[in-house]
Amino acid sequence: MNLISIFIAAAFVNNFVFYRFLGICPFLGISKKLKSALSMGLAVTFVMVISAIATFLIQTYFLERYGLPFLKYVSFILVIASLVQLIEMYMKKQHPNMYKIFGIYLPLITTNCAILGLALLNSLLGYSIIQTFVFAIGAGFGFTLALTIMAGIRERLEYSNVPEPLRGIPISLIVAGLLALAFGGFSGIM
């Protein structure tokens, strides 16, 4: 039960985009086409799960054991950056088909605050390794969901007559605001 509520909280109630404001840059940048939004969401979910586990291990077996909390940010970001690089190299060589689908988004993910935010939230909330895993999947699912909904709306928005100063980013932000309001409705289910 506890794991299910962690998943639902991460995916819907405390959605990473609409509640925690994490990963806004790709949310605004890559949500123009439905297909690329889905690929980006999958890539982010994939990296989220792996980096959440990796940073959990670093936090528990290195930083806490040797009393080095001040190295947290430096080590987390280094681990995430090198992991992304490693995944990219591995996929290019071993899974060229998968690389074609979401490989091009991987370099962008290093500076995606959703990844580092997830690692920091994990250590803040004091989750165990299984909870960390479920939290990462839930967060990735929520991020993909947000990106996909937004892309669907923006594809329609292309054909509508938006007042000139609002075109582009401003109208996207307003749409995101309305979506955030809708997602706020999920807070009742917890």
Partner 1 sequence: MTLKDFLNGFWRQNPIFRLILGMCPTLAVTNMAINGLVMGLATLFVLLGSSIIVSSIRKLVPSKIRIPVFIVIIATFVTIADYVLAAFVPAIHKVLGIYVPLIVVNCIILGRMEAFAKNNPISNSILDALGMGIGFTWGLILLGSTREIIGFGTLFGFTIFGSWYPQLLIMKLPTGAFITLGLLIALMNVIRKRKSTLA
| Amino acid identity for residue 42 in this structure | L
Q: Which of residues 99-158 bind partner 1 (CB under 8 A)?
A: 110-113, 116-117, 120-121, 124
Q: How far is the CB of 12 from partner 1 (least distance, A)?
A: 14
Cα dihedral 164/170/175/180 (nearest 10): -160
What DSSP designation does 163 have? -
Rounded to whole angstroms, the Cα distance separating 40 from 104 reads 9
78 near partner 1, judged by CB under 8 A: yes
Identify which of residues 72 and 92 has a Cβ nearer to partner 1 in the complex: 72
Rounded to whole angstroms, the Cα distance separating 18 from 178 reads 10
Rounded to whole angstroms, the Cα distance separating 43 from 40 reads 5
Rounded to whole angstroms, the Cα distance separating 46 from 57 reads 17
Identify which of residues 57 and 178 has a Cβ nearer to partner 1 in the complex: 178
Identify which of residues 4 and 174 has a Cβ nearer to partner 1 in the complex: 174
190 near partner 1, judged by CB under 8 A: no
Where are the strands (E) in 35-163, listed by range?
Answer: none
| Amino acid identity for residue 10 in this structure | A
Q: How far is the CB of 120 from partner 1 (least distance, A)?
A: 4
Q: Which of residues 169-188 bind partner 1 (CB under 8 A)?
A: 169-174, 176-178, 180-181, 184
Q: Identify the residue among 50, 81, 98, 101 touching partner 1 (CB under 8 A).
A: 81
86 near partner 1, judged by CB under 8 A: no
What DSSP designation does 110 have? T
165 near partner 1, judged by CB under 8 A: yes
Name residue, tokens 């123009």: 32
Q: How far is the CB of 96 from partner 1 (least distance, A)?
A: 25
| Amino acid identity for residue 125 in this structure | L
| Residue ranges binding partner 1 (CB under 8 A) | 18-25, 28, 70, 72-74, 77-78, 81-82, 110-113, 116-117, 120-121, 124, 164-166, 169-174, 176-178, 180-181, 184
